[in-house]
Chain A
């Protein structure tokens, strides 16, 4: 009987504590859906290049554009964020608009750099999100991460970013010092090939090694969903070609982000003393706001700059870059898990599906 209990507790520790339902959490937040889609696309290469598919623009609005908007909507709906982050909530939007306008006056220099900057930052942002999710589910599932473990966890999320930073065209080193980097890589091709290969292997082996280490340590096992979030990020950046990686990672990262941010938003809203609405209302209204803001920012605002006399291409590119950067910066603040932050209460809360359901 004791053995059965210990099996059960090990099983639930590995499964982790989900926010909604294990199936929902693993598929959307853990990245299982993206792993399945990637395996399918890799075995049917015709489906790999989806950028030309007719439904993609709609899909991009529903996942990608709305996920960028979601961080802004979350920033202004998160209880206490206005007080805690006055610069970010009040002044930063105007700073972003000023930067966009400045870059549009000098698109070939400033525009190029802001665009490359965001493309370089993107893989880091995705890796950091994988790290954040892994920590979040570990906390939630009772896996106590010490300082060293957290540091190790951060490092095991990074090989995918380093691979992109050092070896992918047009971003990272190739953007920062194109001539020097081109001559360096040409001179030591074998060394750089070996490094690329090592980083790719590391992106998959290191998370598993850490998983095993934690399992055998006092902290107890990290839930599989944490491992899966890191591995799916590695799959996007290390297995797919750079062009496909940007498209696939963009869509699945967006889905992952929307799922987790909606959960946090709903939990915050239903916990308000004056709340009278259920989780369905808060989920739908939050998502609707994200879609509307995403549509306005990506599809409408660039055309206002066209109306003002700027070119179509530079307006689209520079505004997209600025929205990305705004999102990355906002995210660095709204996902903090300090014990004093409201997020931590949500992560630590015990109730799962019952909580939002009861509120509705």
Chain B
């Protein structure tokens, strides 16, 4: 009976209630059908137009109709590549990668890792720290190497801000990396050494020289060629400042 409401305001010749209702329903059905038909053809027109515009857009940008791409994958790979040499494209690539993180929860961890790696390559410490911090906050870092990267980036960041919190945070992540390495059956020695070295460097900044020496020595046990650990130890033993 809701369809009779469509007739509100119409003037009808004298009719009994039942007849009026029947006509009203017929007219209501007709109106409904017209709306349905109209919306169907509008949807068809929009889809056809969108397909045409999509093909046009692809030809303008790539010089060819849309290729076969699984979602955004190829587009993002190209953008990331181009962004390594072009700052504007780099910003766009980061914002698109962040969009994946925000929308597609199944890709969130992978994409945050990619953002961190990308920022590390391009030297964007702030972005790298932010991405790795987000992974660490949800216990999603996955591999100790990423904790190392975060610890290193935090120490690097300290040199600009002299914020002691960054050093404490770096110690936390280096310790987590060490714990993860210890749990591995065959940890990668160079990365394991790097965790100790980061920890040594952080203790130097906190002026805790005893702990710093212990960790630099641990690092050199794992990798005797690690220059940062050699320099750190030399600084602590002989007062030679690290480079």
Contact = CB atoms under 8 A, between A and B. Distances in A.
Interface of B is mostly: helix
Contact of A307 (B56, B70, B106): B56
Contacts of B42: 94
B72 A313 contact: yes
Contacts of B106: 119, 169-171, 242-243, 246
Given A60-B68, A301-B51, A304-B51, 15 more contacts: A60-B70, A61-B68, A91-B36, A94-B46, A112-B102, A169-B105, A300-B54, A301-B50, A303-B53, A303-B66, A304-B53, A304-B57, A306-B54, A307-B56, A313-B76
B96 A311 contact: yes
Contact of B36 (A51, A86, A96): A86
6 contacts: A108-B99, A108-B103, A300-B54, A304-B49, A312-B72, A313-B72
Given A93-B47, A302-B54, A313-B96, A116 B105 contact: yes
Contacts of B47: 93, 97, 296-297, 301
Given A57-B70, A94-B39, A301-B51, A107 B44 contact: no
Interface residues of A, number: 50
Nearest to A301: B50
B105 A170 contact: yes
Contacts, number: 134
A96 B37 CA distance: 16
Nearest to A318: B103
Interface in B16-48: 33, 35-37, 39-40, 42-44, 46-47
B71 interface: yes
A89 B37 CA distance: 9
Nearest to B99: A313
B95 to A, nearest CB: 8
A90 B44 contact: no
A90 B76 contact: no
Interface in A269-307: 295-297, 299-307
A115 B103 contact: yes
A93 B99 contact: no
Interface string A334-356: 00000000000000000000000
Nearest to B106: A170
B105 to A, nearest CB: 4
Contact of A312 (B33, B68, B75): B75
Interface in B81-99: 95-96, 99
A57 B69 contact: yes
Contacts of A303: 53-55, 57-58, 66
Given A115-B103, A170-B105, A312 B51 contact: no
A243 B105 CA distance: 12
Given A108-B103, A313-B99, A317-B104, A94 B54 contact: no
B43 A307 contact: no
Nearest to B37: A90
A56 interface: yes
Contacts of B95: 311
B108 interface: yes
A299 B104 contact: no
Interface string B162-203: 000000000000000000000000000000000000000000
